[in-house]
Amino acid sequence: MNDLIRTQALTRGYVTRAQIIDAGCRDRDIKAALRAGLLVRLRHGIYAYADDVASMTEVERHRLVSYAVVDRLGDGFVLSHQSACAAHGIDQYASPDQDVHVTRLDGRAGRREAGVVHHVGAVPTEDVMFVDGRLVMRPERAVFEAATICSTESAMVTASSALHLGLATAEGLDEIGERLTRWPGARHAALAMRLSDGRCESVGESRSLFMMWRGGIPRPEQQVTIRGEFGVVARVDFDWDAWRHTGEFDGLFKYGRLNVHVADPGRILTDEKAREDGVRGTGRGMSRWIWPELPMRQTVERLRLDLDRSRSLYCHGRTYIALG
């Protein structure tokens, strides 16, 4: 692989077979580069340097593939659905497929071919914008489109991420839902929009909220600051004040590759134990769960028991007056 190919890859993030051949290489050189781990195949005829994509998230990788597809298709196509969400950097979970989704502006029939889903429909000018030089559906429409073809949990994750990032508003999602109410899957998408919450700061927190809804757990407050006798004790993911109980999703950020205590990985465990003791010292219980426990019936039942235990232990003598 020569400098010209590397320049092409740096410019757009990917390189095509045609560009590699034009640079003087042959198909056997491509195969050799793939075997050596220098290149990776993104899709048929589209490659990237392995080092460039190694640290990419699934969303970032899907965005790169989507850009390659729409660049090849040319004018008259807009990235839509999950692919538009990826272009905006919106989190996704358990997308039903890895196909690239585009909407045709020429009115021709939709179809699915070679890993690309061609949608067709009316696209008002206000629903489209440029992202990195490509036509992309605006975030609120992209989120609603994706929600019509994926699970409630997946749609809730995507909508919550868009809200958290400030790319969408609840009013905007409601408006697009009313406008696209006749779409197949629109009622299903509307439910996911109602369940979503921009206070969710990660996919794990969004999935946790979905787990609670599906399991009949009372909806908690989120990102609550717990104060003790001497000031702030902790900021917790979930809080049920009427039960004097808190909840925490323990994800990759705390224990994995994003651990801030790289030189002392065990320190995070010590810090979390001290933090939990501080919360319990204010007369509250705490439940924790991790990614493999989402969403599981056992986790819901354990959380239900923990809530009841905290109410029994910490709520004696407390009086609640209903407001309004």
pTM equals 0.87
Report residue 96's pLDDT band, with 50, 70 and 90 as the boundaries. Answer: low
Whether the per-residue pLDDT at 255 is higher than 50: the answer is no
Q: Which of 52, 22, 58 minimizes the C-alpha distance to 38? A: 52
* Residues 73 and 190 occupy one common structural domain: yes
- What are 126-152's pLDDT values in tens digits? 999 999 999 999 999 999 999 999 999
**Does any domain span residue 323?**
no
State the total domains in the chain.
Answer: 3
- pLDDT exceeding 70 applies to what percent of the chain? 89
pLDDT attached to residue 213: 97
Q: Which of 110, 104, 66, 109 minimizes the C-alpha distance to 85? A: 66
pLDDT attached to residue 296: 87
* Residues 133 and 69 occupy one common structural domain: yes
The helices-and-strands tally (H runs, E runs) of the chain is 14, 13
**What would the mean pLDDT of 85-109 be, rounded to a whole number?**
86
pLDDT attached to residue 104: 92
The β-bridge relationship of strands 221-228 and 231-240 is: antiparallel
Residue that is last in its domain, among 170, 198, 226: 198
Question: In 152-306, which ranges are E strands?
Answer: 221-228, 231-240, 245-250, 285-290
**Does any domain span residue 224?**
yes
Range of the domain at 278: 205-314
Under a CB-based contact definition with an 8 Å cutoff, are residues 230 and 181 in contact? no
- For residue 277, the domain's CATH number is 3.40.960
Report residue 4's pLDDT band, with 50, 70 and 90 as the boundaries. Answer: low
Mean pLDDT taken over the chain? 88
- What are 7-64's pLDDT values in tens digits? 777 778 899 999 889 888 899 999 999 999 999 999 989 999 999 999 999 999 999 9
Residue that is last in its domain, among 35, 53, 71: 53
Report residue 98's pLDDT band, with 50, 70 and 90 as the boundaries. Answer: confident
Report residue 66's pLDDT band, with 50, 70 and 90 as the boundaries. Answer: very high
